[in-house]
Amino acid sequence: MRALSEKPLLVAAAAAALLAGALLVSSFVRAGDRFLLCSSAYSSSSSSPSVDLAAALLHYATTRTVPQQSRAEIRISFDVLRRRGPSNFLVFGLGHDSLMWSAFNAGGTTVFLEEDPVWFRSVTKDSPALRAHTVRYRTRLADANDLIKTYRSEPSCLPPAAAPLKNNHRCRLALADLPAEIYDREWDLIMIDAPKGYYNEAPGRMAAIFSAAVMARGRRGEGETDVFLHDVDRKVEKTFAMEFLCKKYLVGGTGRLWHFRIPPVNETSSGDKGFC
């Protein structure tokens, strides 16, 4: 009898969870529903925008886990994705928000880079449609101070020699061994929310920030590159952002997120061998 009496409560709880999860994603999507509907004609992935959105809604409706970023932080990136339309979106980090980012970029190409192979297998097992790669970093958070002080002594860390990133092993900050598609594609948006950067032996985000700056400066197509950096309350993120992403390109932010809009190097007026 107890099982029978509890059944309506369980059904109600499940319905509430479904509604809450749907609201999480749809609250953003409603504002961009026209963009999502129109983007299907430009799909560059095997799944359709409607399938991606449905998968995201189902995921967030059936889990208590929420994205790492706040609603206000997410809104900044969402608004840029809506403005730009289907985009090439590179995300450093694989996590609880990956399905959301992929759904927001409906019809575009969203690729994730993750340093932890165990976490990679866990996430992709539950969400096999995500386009993701494991990567290895050559840096440690403990080396951040040394890297920021000495990188200028290595010519391959300075423009224009810092590009291309591929096979640039002389510069410790360059991500020189990424999958080929990362180098072959121009990225309209880059989100840096990984790798780990909260203990000395962690890779830190120094190389991700540096490499994002090199990618943005080397853009050959029209327009600028929108770069989003999370956890800017931490010293390393803030220091490397000011060094490579540049204060003059900082166009917005909220909470622990900064938004940079970086032009290609041929559109900048600086002739100095530096990033800013």
Strands (E), 97-234: 109-114, 132-134, 189-192, 225-230
Task: Domains for the chain: give ranges and CATH numbers.
Answer: 2-267 (3.40.50)
Determine the Cα–Cα distance for residues 205 and 41; give it in Å rounded to an integer. Answer: 36
Total length of the chain: 276
Q: For 216, list phi and psi in degrees, rounded to 5.
A: -65, -45
**What is the pLDDT confidence band of residue 221, given thresholds at 50, 70 and 90?**
confident
**84-123 pLDDT tens trace:** 999 999 999 999 899 999 999 999 999 999 999 999 999 9
Give the contacts of 53 (CB within 8 A, at least 6 positions apart): 25, 29, 36, 103, 106
Cα dihedral value 191, 271, 156, 264, nearest 10: 30
Instruction: Please give the structure tokens belonging to residue 145.
Output: 């101070």
Pairing, β 109-114 against β 189-192: unpaired
For the entire predicted model, the pTM comes to: 0.82
**179-198 pLDDT tens trace:** 999 999 999 999 999 999 99
